[in-house]
Amino acid sequence: MEILADLIRKLPGGPDMSEQAMHITNSVIMATLMFIVMALCAIIFTWMERKVAGFIQSRYGPMRTGRWHGWAQAVADMLKILGKEDIIPAEADKTYFVFAPLLVLLGSLLAWAAFPWAPGFVAADLDLGLFYIFAVSSLVVIGLLMAGWASNNKWALYGAARGAAQMVSYEIPLALACIPVVMYTGSLNTQDIVIAQQGGVLNWFIFRDPFLFVAFFMYFIASIAETNRGPFDMPETESELVSGYHTEYTGMRFAFFFLAEYANLFLVSMIAVMVFLGGWWSPIPGLDFAPALTFIIKGVLMVFLNMWIRWTLPRVRVDQLMHLCWKVMIPVTLLCVIGAGVWMMLSGRAGA
Amino acid sequence: MATESHKVNHGWADQDEVPGIKSELLELNMGPQHPATHGVLRLLLQTDGEIVYKVTPVLGYLHRCAEKIAEGVNYKQWVVYTDRFDYLAPMCCNHAYVTAMEKLMKQEVPERAEHIRIVVAELSRIASHLIALATFGLDMGAWTPLLYCFREREEILNLLERISGGRMLYNYMVPGGVRYDIPEDGWIQDVLTFITMLETKKLDDYNTLLSYNKIFIERTADVGVISVEDAYDYGCTGPVLRGSGVSFDCRRDDPYSLYHKFDFDIPVGTGEMGTVGDCWDRYMVRVREIAEACKIIRQALDTLPEGEYQAYELKKLIKVPAGAAYTRTESSKGEIGHYIISDGGQRPFRNKVRSPSFCNLQVLEKIGVGQMVSDLVAMVGSLDIVLGEIDR
């Protein structure tokens, strides 16, 4: 975090700070920033989802609150949900019930730390960045299972069991699809991955070789499943399991799940951009004057793609979902790993 | 408990011999408040994880004693209760009742009235089938077709409002004719425009969006297969029976009203995507019936005769000679039977209704066993039940 550190040094009292104090200040500022970004993206994407759904379904979506296309609707909903009664079912396991939404939120929030928004602008510049992101986002599964079990509701238990099976399974193709890129880069550091894609659209990893092209789509499908959104929204399946694992949740606790869902959605979209779609580089070389903005625009486009799919396709059945993962996606992604390796060797890039 | 023959898939419930672990079937209440049960249907499930071992429909949450009420009101006043049976296709229910009444009264009906009745009944059938497609799609997790189908249904509701004055529940037909004539504001032209739009554009839209969608086919083909024998045994009628490949339709095989005058096909399930009688077949029969209904409407409007729309001046009360009559008619859900016994007074002695959804639902007990919970949702959706008709 060189940029932020320089900024702090310029403040009054900045130059006198010790290394440790500097480090702590840095982390606190970044953590706050990430949390705000996350809350903001939940609010913006709720509104966006409703407008996109409205557009696809030939209706308007929210139009009143805040005058212009109901932009304040999501804010109003958040305020309303704050005022809701917090109900914990009498037979629920209270400790787990209370803790589960926090864990789900934590899982998504932690992953943001290793995220390179712009050159040099990353909360935690880890050498194992990509690995770290996948590792902490697995925490979500535990929170989900906890919520389903603690609710003491059969539908919630069904949702949790399905969700755990699905998310644990889909993490494998999700990570496998990224491995070819790591092979090309020779690093798991998130910044290195983006830097390796410099120089226009043809240098983005998606277009480097045919195996990476396939790997991108595998990643995309797995990411939809990983965020539990349609057509893979098994843990919720409102037409089968009422509302899945968060059936019994109300008020702010429900909002946490909601927040986590949209934060996760943005996260996987941003990872797709970071790993395959050139990160902060613009499609045309030399036009990189606003790296963070480029990054976010690409991410929002990916989110839009996600929403488009959700509102168009029916839902797959739970066994078909597992079939798709274990018998189709994992072999194909493995093939991509091998194929990309061979391609690298033949094109003389091995060991680069 | 499930019997041995019911165990299609072997799950954890079979493994009681695992030391220290005792497993049992999970009792699950699906409904009466559940998003996929199309009203207040309650399904009592015994499941082993995702596999359903036993499914028992529990009825009676919407019982309104309509048949008993019939014994206390005049014949004509009961038309309004038939609206509330299959509230998605009230015109078909009206038609069923007035047909039975006219048989009992030996009442002739003017030809113009019969034409109007057929037009509105077929419009109602289209509206009902649109809801069936929409909610079936929703059960499969497809939200968007729901909105599209409701958009088209709205057009039908507007048309029917213009002719009858009511949007959902019409009370439009009376024994001996219809209550109002066709309005003079271009109603006929608007109906023709609407059905042309539906035939040429909208049905293709639904087919692209839902019917031939790969995921949708995966979810519905080979699921919930009703064999021809089962369909006969349980008394299934309507699209459920035709989905199993049986070409039977009261409009053609036991003609009432003026249906024998019109030319239309009876779509049947062909097993195009899987087995004959699966959910996809039942769904597709409905899609194709919409096109057939459009054909009937066009013919009925093209040959619409001039003349009276009521056989006699409407009186407040109807008196019927003693006797009994049974008629069956084809509603959107299947065969509606009306058995009316008159003792010569102003009120029927007994009025028994055979509702199609009630019989169609019973088959769930048979086809639901050994399937997954998600498939059960698909089956309930494909049977297209209306609780107002089941409980009456």
Where residue A15 falls among pLDDT bands split at 50, 70, 90?
A: low
DSSP, res B174: E
Residue of B nearest to A55 (CA): B144
Q: Do B215 and A158 touch (CB under 8 A)?
A: no
* Any domain includes B85: yes
User: Which of A52, A240, A247 would you mutate first to test chain B, the one with the most B CBs within 10 A?
Assistant: A240
Q: Please tell me if residue B148 touches chain A, with a CB cutoff of 8 Å.
A: yes
Integer Cα distance of A279 and A42 in angstroms = 21
Residue B34 C-alpha, separation from nearest chain A C-alpha, in angstroms: 6
Q: Do B218 and A320 touch (CB under 8 A)?
A: yes
* Any domain includes B213: yes
Q: Do A314 and B137 touch (CB under 8 A)?
A: yes
B264 shares its domain with B387: yes
Name chain A contacts of B151, Cβ cutoff 8 Å.
58
pLDDT of residue B194: 92
For A106-252, where are the E strands, in sequence order?
none
Integer Cα distance of B328 and B96 in angstroms = 7
Q: What's the average model confidence in pLDDT over A304-312?
A: 90
Give the count of beta carbons closer than 10 Å to the beta carbon of residue B303: 12
Q: Are residues B383 and B36 in contact, defined by beta-carbon separation less than 8 angstroms?
A: no
* Any domain includes B387: yes
Q: Do A320 and B137 touch (CB under 8 A)?
A: no
* Any domain includes B357: no
Name chain B contacts of A311, Cβ cutoff 8 Å.
143-144
Where residue A255 falls among pLDDT bands split at 50, 70, 90?
A: confident
pLDDT of residue A5: 67
Q: What's the average model confidence in pLDDT over A72-100?
A: 86
Q: Looking at the partner chain, which of A161, A238, A313 has a beta carbon nearest the beta carbon of B215?
A: A313
Q: Please tell me if residue B147 touches chain A, with a CB cutoff of 8 Å.
A: yes
B82 shares its domain with B37: no
Integer Cα distance of A116 and A53 in angstroms = 30
Name chain B contacts of A239, Cβ cutoff 8 Å.
35-36, 138-141, 377
Residue A224 C-alpha, separation from nearest chain B C-alpha, in angstroms: 15
B175 shares its domain with B310: yes
B103 shares its domain with B36: no
Percent of chain A with pLDDT over 70: 95
B114 shares its domain with B257: yes
Tokens of A168: 């644990």
3 state SS of A350: coil
Question: Of B37, B58, B79, which residue is a domain's last?
Answer: B58
The number of domains in chain A is: 1
B13 shares its domain with B113: no
Name chain A contacts of B374, Cβ cutoff 8 Å.
237, 240, 317-318
Q: Please tell me if residue B202 touches chain A, with a CB cutoff of 8 Å.
A: no
Integer Cα distance of B171 and B87 in angstroms = 11
Q: How many CB pairs under 8 A join A and B?
A: 73
Query: Could you tell me the mean pLDDT of each successive run of 10 residues in chain B, 392 residues long?
Result: 43 56 79 80 85 86 88 87 88 90 85 90 92 89 88 91 88 86 88 90 88 88 88 90 89 86 88 86 91 91 86 77 88 90 87 89 86 87 87 82
Query: Residues near B339 by Cβ (< 8 Å), separated by ≥ 6?
Result: B100, B324, B325, B326, B350, B351, B352, B353, B354
Q: Please tell me if residue B28 touches chain A, with a CB cutoff of 8 Å.
A: yes
* Any domain includes A205: yes
B70 shares its domain with B133: yes
Residue A165 C-alpha, separation from nearest chain B C-alpha, in angstroms: 13
Q: Please tell me if residue B372 touches chain A, with a CB cutoff of 8 Å.
A: yes
User: Which of B26, B52, B144 would you mutate first to test chain A, the one with the most A CBs within 10 A?
Assistant: B144
pLDDT of residue A334: 92
Q: Do A317 and B144 touch (CB under 8 A)?
A: no
Residue B215 C-alpha, separation from nearest chain A C-alpha, in angstroms: 6
Integer Cα distance of A77 and A71 in angstroms = 11
Name chain B contacts of A56, Cβ cutoff 8 Å.
144
Name chain A contacts of B137, Cβ cutoff 8 Å.
314
pLDDT of residue B19: 67
Residue of B nearest to A161 (CA): B49
Q: Are residues A192 and A185 in contact, defined by beta-carbon separation less than 8 angstroms?
A: yes
* Any domain includes A109: yes
Walk across the sheet containing B335-342 and list its strands: B323-330, B335-342, B348-354
B199 shares its domain with B315: yes
The number of domains in chain B is: 2
B9 shares its domain with B73: no
pLDDT of residue B130: 92
3 state SS of B389: helix
Between A217 and A284, whose confidence is greater?
Answer: A217
Residue of A nearest to B38 (CA): A239
CATH (domain of B100): 1.10.645.10
* Any domain includes B78: yes
User: Which of A57, A58, A243, A317 would you mutate first to test chain B, the one with the most B CBs within 10 A?
Assistant: A317
Q: Is the pLDDT of residue A252 over 50?
A: yes
Q: Please tell me if residue B6 touches chain A, with a CB cutoff of 8 Å.
A: no
3 state SS of B129: helix
Query: Residues near A68 by Cβ (< 8 Å), separated by ≥ 6?
Result: none
Q: Do A313 and B373 touch (CB under 8 A)?
A: no
Name chain A contacts of B140, Cβ cutoff 8 Å.
239, 314-315
* Any domain includes A9: no
pLDDT of residue B120: 92
B8 shares its domain with B135: no
B311 shares its domain with B244: yes
Q: Do B147 and A59 touch (CB under 8 A)?
A: yes
3 state SS of B184: coil
Q: Is the pLDDT of residue A238 over 80?
A: no
Residue of A nearest to B27 (CA): A154
B103 shares its domain with B191: yes
* Any domain includes B358: no
Length of chain B, in residues? 392
Q: Do A239 and B139 touch (CB under 8 A)?
A: yes
Name chain B contacts of A61, Cβ cutoff 8 Å.
none
Residue B374 C-alpha, separation from nearest chain A C-alpha, in angstroms: 6
Domain limits for position B193: 66-352+373-391
Residue of A nearest to B151 (CA): A58
Domain limits for position A298: 94-346
DSSP, res B305: P
Q: Looking at the partner chain, which of B147, B215, B375 has a beta carbon nearest the beta carbon of A58?
A: B147
Q: Rounded to a whole number, what is the largest CA-CA distance in chain B?
A: 83
Residue B308 C-alpha, separation from nearest chain A C-alpha, in angstroms: 42
Residue B4 C-alpha, separation from nearest chain A C-alpha, in angstroms: 23
User: Which of A313, A318, A328 would you mutate first to test chain B, the one with the most B CBs within 10 A?
Assistant: A313
pLDDT of residue B193: 92
Distances in whole angstroms, Cα of residue B61 to Cα of each of B42, B44, B378, B390: 8, 14, 22, 10
Conformation bin of residue A62: beta by default, left when phi > 0, alpha when psi is -120 to 50: beta
Q: Are residues B175 and B137 in contact, defined by beta-carbon separation less than 8 angstroms?
A: no
Integer Cα distance of A35 and A55 in angstroms = 30
